Structure 1
Amino acid sequence: MKIVHADDIEWKRGLEHRGGTFHYRHYFDGEPNTPGNFQFNIGRTQGDFNSPRHRHNFEQFRFQIDGAMDFDRNGRMKAGAFGYFPEGAPYGPQSSEGTSMTAVLQFGGASGSGYLSRAQVKAGQAELEKIGKFEGGIFRRNDDVEGRRQTDGYQAIWETHNNRKLEYPKPRYRDPVMVDPSHYEWVPVGRGVSEKLLGVFTERRTQALQIRLEPGATWQGPGRSIYLVVNGAGKVAGESYKTLTGVYANEGEAPEFAASEETEIIVLGLPNLAGVELPARETMMSAAE
């Protein structure tokens, strides 16, 4: 089990292959080169941030902590909103309405396409910058270099790392699912404990819920899940927690939260990918692909 606190994590610059200003606090990573690899961060964008309409071969959960993000035809996420962004489904273009802060979990989904680690993304970006440049979320190949003229930035990085053309999985959902938890009712699930089940997705049963603990209440959560304390104070696994404390519980671990103040927690359950294997990397790919 891992426990981290927001004010112990420095802000770093990221998403240079997109457009505008983005900083992040990095909380947790999964295991690289596995179908279930993941990354959990809190990101902060400025008003100049933008990303073109695109899609991924991995999944995303988003929880809007502060400010608002605009996804054009897919809708707008204001503070308190939750979103599930399925693999294969296009979304955006995306822009930040001033300064915005979002908790984002990105993870390998039901297709078994996996998820690139931050180090792999950085290495792919560095390699591509030898033959082109990233502008507004798009990789543009230099005129004197053979191959496709322009590609979505992440797709270009993925193809460079895997040495093959990215084949997007067929989307199980046509569009992102955006949820307003304030329209849900709290359902009692224990003494002093209430739940809002925000959704269970795909045949691999990835899920999201909110938990509320009254002062003095205790609650034990499931393994293979990410927890973010939205507000409150208390102890988890014997260690103090506070607002924006994050917890990662692996398979077989069950963190127990004991609230000294009223507490709300976002719980993000990773998918069960039993039997799924990550495809092997190719040895070479034609630049024209």
Structure 2
Amino acid sequence: MKIVHFDKDNWIKDHPSGTLYFQHLLKGEPGPPDNFMYVLAKQQDEWSMPRHRHNFDQIRLPLVGDNTTYGRGVVLKEGQVGYFPEGLSYGPQESPMKGMAPGEPLGLTLQFGGSSGYGFMSIEQRRQARQELIEAGGSFDGPFYVRPDGTRQWGLTTIWEHVFGEHLKYARPRYTHPVVADPKRFNWLPVEGTKGVDHKWLGAFSERAVWVEMIKLQPGARWSSADPKARRLLTVLSGDGECDCDQIGYLTAIQADAGETLDLAAGSSPLELFLIGLPPVVLPTTESQEYDLDEFPAEDREPAGQSS
């Protein structure tokens, strides 16, 4: 069991835009295909990113502000949950401040290895590779890496190849669009075998069956949960209570691994949590040939003579 409390002063500038600051909440182990990184992000200024894709899955929840668009009509509003499948292009991302003060826009992002088994590169590996590439004479220009000869490449592709010594593969997306769920439109349903505990089931994705739900405990209620296979990541959205004899409150993050029993108790106010379930990645006996080697698939490339 891991419990990480929100620290208003613990922020690191880890995003290529230079205007997003992260608080690293929970993370996996580098190497296995189910590695992950769970962060709280705050926005200090307006930023944008060109259309791009990743070789890992993402789940996003804007907590304060709905100022980011993801291109082609995709908007994630405050309180909505977005699932961005591995290999799926999105963007251009535009994130104006919309009158908010620096640091007010706030959101949760989970990045994790998808069903393809291509895994997820840790933030420590990224940081080290960036430094080594700079020391080799190159430089980073936003999300792009500029080699000493002046040629440019998408930065994460360069970093991946530097870390692993092989070309990055993009699983062809299992879904044609990001999936956006609005929890306000889901019903609270009682959790079987408990008193004063309800949940909203928002969905499960891919053959890995990663799932997302909301859990709410009424004041004084208790909830015990165990899963023999899946890791569970929970974040307190409101209220207070206790977990594993530790006091928890707003934005406390909890990790319960497979086989661990999660015991929660609400305090004097309703305790509401955001839960992501991460079953193990099961690799196929024969690797799928449904992948691309290009950062930008043909349908996302701009016509000749145009540039972003």
TM-score under structure 1 normalisation?
0.88
Asked if 1:244 corresponds to 2:251, the answer is: yes
Deviation string 1:224-264 (CA, Å, 9 cap, x unpaired) is 11100000111111211111111001111121111111011
Cα distance in 2 between the residues matched to 1:90 and 1:271: 24
1:3 maps to a residue whose letter is I
* SS of the residue 1:76 aligns to: coil
1:141 match: 147
1:176 maps to a residue whose letter is P
Q: Which moved more, 1:67-76 or 1:230-239?
A: 67-76
2:10 maps to a residue whose letter is E
Deviation string 1:199-234 (CA, Å, 9 cap, x unpaired) is 100111111100111111111234511100000111
Q: Which moved more, 1:115-124 or 1:1-10?
A: 1-10
1:283 match: none
2:5 match: 5
Query: Cα 1:213–1:28, aligned 2, differ >3 Å: closer, same or farther?
Result: same
1:213 to 205, 217, 241: 217
Q: Which moved more, 1:183-192 or 1:100-109?
A: 183-192
Q: Which moved more, 1:260-269 or 1:6-15?
A: 6-15
1:192 match: 196
Distance apart, 1:92 and its partner CA: 1.2
Cα distance in 2 between the residues matched to 1:229 and 1:172: 30
2:49 maps to a residue whose letter is S
Distance apart, 1:273 and its partner CA: 1.3
- Residues 74 and 92 in structure 1, CA contact (< 8 A), matched pair in contact too: no
Asked if 1:234 corresponds to 2:236, the answer is: no
1:118 maps to a residue whose letter is I
1:118 match: 123
Query: Cα 1:187–1:97, aligned 2, differ >3 Å: closer, same or farther?
Result: farther
- Residues 74 and 175 in structure 1, CA contact (< 8 A), matched pair in contact too: no
2:272 maps to a residue whose letter is E
Deviation string 1:9-39 (CA, Å, 9 cap, x unpaired) is 6111111xx2231111111110111111111
2:111 maps to a residue whose letter is Q
Question: Mapping of 1:19-58 within 5 angstroms?
Answer: 19-58=17-56
Cα distance in 1 between the residues matched to 2:49 and 2:19: 11
- Residues 109 and 271 in structure 1, CA contact (< 8 A), matched pair in contact too: no
2:273 to 265, 273, 281: 265
Distance apart, 1:271 and its partner CA: 3.2
- Residues 60 and 104 in structure 1, CA contact (< 8 A), matched pair in contact too: yes
Cα distance in 1 between the residues matched to 2:180 and 2:49: 18
Root mean square deviation, CA, Å: 1.9
Structure 1: state its 5+ residue gaps.
280-289
Q: Which moved more, 1:204-213 or 1:40-49?
A: 40-49
- Residues 116 and 283 in structure 2, CA contact (< 8 A), matched pair in contact too: no
Percentage of identical aligned residues:
38
1:66 maps to a residue whose letter is V
1:109 match: 114
Structure 2: state its 5+ residue gaps.
98-103, 288-308
2:23 maps to a residue whose letter is R
- Residues 211 and 276 in structure 2, CA contact (< 8 A), matched pair in contact too: yes
Deviation string 1:178-214 (CA, Å, 9 cap, x unpaired) is 1111111111223211111111001111111001111
- Residues 107 and 115 in structure 1, CA contact (< 8 A), matched pair in contact too: yes
1:201 match: 205
2:139 maps to a residue whose letter is K
Distance apart, 1:275 and its partner CA: 4.7
* SS of the residue 1:77 aligns to: coil
Runs of 4+ displaced beyond 4 Å: none
- Residues 51 and 92 in structure 1, CA contact (< 8 A), matched pair in contact too: yes
2:63 match: 65
